[in-house]
Amino acid sequence: MKEKALLLSLLLFTATGQAAVREPAKQQVARAQLAYQAGDYGASAGIYGEVAGSLADNGGIFEQELLYSGASAAAMAGNRDQALDFLERAVKAGLMQADRIRHDASLASLQGDPRLEALLTDIATRKARSDKIWNSPGFAVAYSESLSEDQRVAGLSRLWSEAKFSFANFDRVPDLDWDALYLETLPKVRAAPDTYAYYRELQAFISRLQDGHSTLVLRSASVRDRFQARPGLSTSYVEGRVLVRDVFDPALRAAGIKRGWELLTIDGEPVSVYAERELRPYTSASTPQDLRSQMYERSLLQGALDKSLSIGFSDPRGKEHVVKVGRMPSKEYTAARKEPAPFEWKLLPGNVAQVTLRSFTDNTAADQFEAAFSQISRADAIIFDLRDNGGGNSNVGYRILSLLTDRPFQTSAWRTPDYKPALRAWSISNPDFNAGAGEWPHDGKRHYAKPVLVLTSARTYSAAEDFVVAFDAMHRGRIVGEPTGGSTGSPMMFNLPGGVVALICTKRDTYPDGKEFVGVGIMPQVEVHPTVADYRGGRDTVLEAAVRLARAGGR
């Protein structure tokens, strides 16, 4: 329910014609959310019903989300008929999320009801009609060694057209002529000798948007292994040098490779020369720090599974080593790497809690933070470490933030392209739809009021940046470390021939007051960078700086 409440808070009453009821309705929705959190589902449903009663049934995302939230509350209260009434109105308003309805635990009591089944059938019918226009299965052509010229051209054309009408950040690339780039890329796609070459041309094309949320993904693990397999080690970019971070391939450990070794060459070339040629033209990134992280920390050593690399290393004593490094199949790589937990915490000397939030891909981080809150809250300060958090669902982070305040707090403002063909026909500009800032309720029961700090890096990304923006806007504490990646938004996903899934960023987020961070990064109040000496010595430069601040009361 909290996840649905956020979307409703972000969207409610920002449309033209709703201004007269905007503030009272927001207050009512906040009361409905708090009642839901308190387990008073009947009261929550009643408040949603009051707000819904003031809306005209003219469709739109605002009405859909409000009615859906009402249905969730009513279903949890055991009011089946009221819940189905809410859902029927939501579907009439345009809701087409059948899977969401089927798998939402709050709606479990409605499953199997004939009225619900009728609604799901209606959704399926309308979605099938929509898919014929927007998501034809004709584009979902599986990978083969050589696609036809028509299929390759269709892939480029769909990528060009979807971005043309949906990409949220064209203003960030004012010198880019998207149509001219399409015409320039057409002959390259036609001439591509195989599917991989076609894929690389598409990568080069979409990378010109300079957006980390607009990229391509190879759908099949077996195809990824052919072109994007990785060796069993990871790297960090520290003071302009590429250092080994972790080694999880037994063969590489046996070769003596350890954390802190520097990568000097790849196949005889300096690392920077190799990366500029093999990675930069094909890397989608939003900021310089994002580009460096993508190139040197995430993608540097990936490639064909059957092709090994000759890597020149320098150990901490300056002795050079050349090691043949093979790549691992994705399943073997995942098993060896042992993905770290989304949430961990420990008490540091001085009664400072370090809470590491590595992922918001599911509710684990928020669930475990809430479960451990009674212990964590005994600390004299909390340091939230998001330096390796690549994002996920922003609501997970907002749940955590809700325990750090005693009042509702603002989340990112956002806007999205709002293309109306008639306006273009009349030579009138198509302004973006601007949803303004959202609002998230405080926990209501628990509140940590002591000093809080947040650690960031270029790997702090997407939903993790939404967390940092909300934290910063709360004026709750200081951000320590390096600028974030500067890339968030809601990517639209669609198929291209060759087993490729394309992502186009459709949503531009800002601070609640409109301050930009996409394409810039969130700037820490205390900028601290890791050093090679500390890295090799096992010291965490950034964390140590934060601990000193925490012991001084967060100042």
**pLDDT band with cut points at 50, 70 and 90 for residue 2:** very low
Q: What is the pLDDT of residues 208-248, one digit of tens each?
A: 999 999 999 998 888 888 899 999 999 999 999 999 999 99
- In angstroms, what CA-CA distances link 96 with 51, 90, 101? 22, 9, 9
Distance CA 202, CA 216 (A): 8
DSSP 153-202: HHHHHHHHHHHHHH-S-GGG-TT--HHHHHHHHHHHHHH-SSHHHHHHHH
* C-alpha to C-alpha distance for 176 and 379, rounded to whole angstroms: 51
Average pLDDT, the chain: 92
pLDDT at 3: 43
Judge whether residue 61 has pLDDT over 80.
no
pTM above 0.85?
Answer: yes
- The string of pLDDT tens digits covering residues 312-342 is 999 999 999 999 999 999 889 988 988 899 9
Provide the pLDDT for residue 15.
Answer: 37
Identify whether the C-beta of residue 364 lies closer than 8 Å to the C-beta of residue 343. yes
**Mean of pLDDT values over 24-46:** 84
Q: What's the confidence (pLDDT) of residue 60?
A: 67
Mean local confidence (pLDDT), 409-431: 93
At 204, the amino acid letter reads A
* Single-letter code of the amino acid located at 220: S
Residue 105, judged by CB atoms within 10 A of its CB (0-12, 13-18, 19+), counts as exposed
The residues, any chain, with a CB within 8 Å of residue 243's CB and separated by 6 or more, are 235, 236, 237, 259, 260, 261, 262, 263, 532, 535, 536
Taking the CA of residue 262 as centre, how many other CA atoms within 13 Å lie in the half-sphere pointing to its CB?
A: 19
Mean pLDDT score, 469-493? 96
Residue 43 three-state SS: helix
Give per-residue pLDDT as tens, 424-445. Answer: 999 999 999 998 898 898 988 8
Q: Which pLDDT score is estimated for 190?
A: 97
Closest CA to 86 of 184, 8, 154, 172: 8
Q: Hunting for tokens 């290393």 — which residue is that?
A: 313
**480: DSSP letter:** E
> Rg (Cα) of the chain, in Å, rounded?
25
How far is 340 from 245, CA to CA, in rounded Å? Answer: 14
**Relative orientation angle of helices 22-37 and 2-11, to the nearest 10 degrees:** 180
Q: Is the dihedral of CA 340, 467, 415, 201 positive or negative?
A: negative
Residue 554's Cα: distance from chain center in Å?
28
Which pLDDT value is given to residue 13? 39
Q: How confident is the model at residue 1 (pLDDT cuts 50, 70, 90)?
A: very low
58 vs 513, which has greater pLDDT?
513
Distances from the Cα of 289 to the Cαs of 203, 230, 238, 293, in angstroms? Answer: 20, 22, 12, 6
Q: Examine the pLDDT at 12 and tell me if it is beyond 90.
A: no
What's the length of the chain? Answer: 555
What is the rounded distance in angstroms from the CA atom of residue 25 to the CA atom of residue 192?
Answer: 56
Nearest Cα to Cα of residue 466 among 406, 526, 400: 400
> In 433-507, which residue ranges form alpha helices assigned H by DSSP?
463-474
Please name the residues in contact with 319: beta carbons below 8 A apart, sequence gap of 6 or more. none
Residue listed under structure tokens 């590595």? 358
Would you say residue 59 has pLDDT above 90?
A: no
Residue 47, CA distances (Å) to 75, 105, 225, 409, 444 in order: 14, 21, 52, 21, 18
pLDDT at 542 over 70: yes
- CA dist 422 and 424 (Å) reads 5
Q: Is pLDDT at 22 greater than 70 in this prediction?
A: no
Please state, in angstroms and as integers, the Cα–Cα distance from residue 275 to each residue in 84, 270, 295, 301, following that order: 56, 9, 7, 9
Task: Identify the band that residue 20 occupies on the pLDDT scale cut at 50, 70 and 90.
Answer: very low
Q: How confident is the model at residue 57 (pLDDT cuts 50, 70, 90)?
A: low
Which pLDDT score, from 0 to 100, does residue 4 have?
Answer: 43
Q: Which two tokens stand for residue 424?
A: 């273009």
User: What pLDDT sits at residue 221?
Assistant: 84
Are 487 and 287 in contact, with CB atoms under 8 Å apart?
yes
Distance from C-alpha of 418 to C-alpha of 388, rounded to nearest angstrom: 34
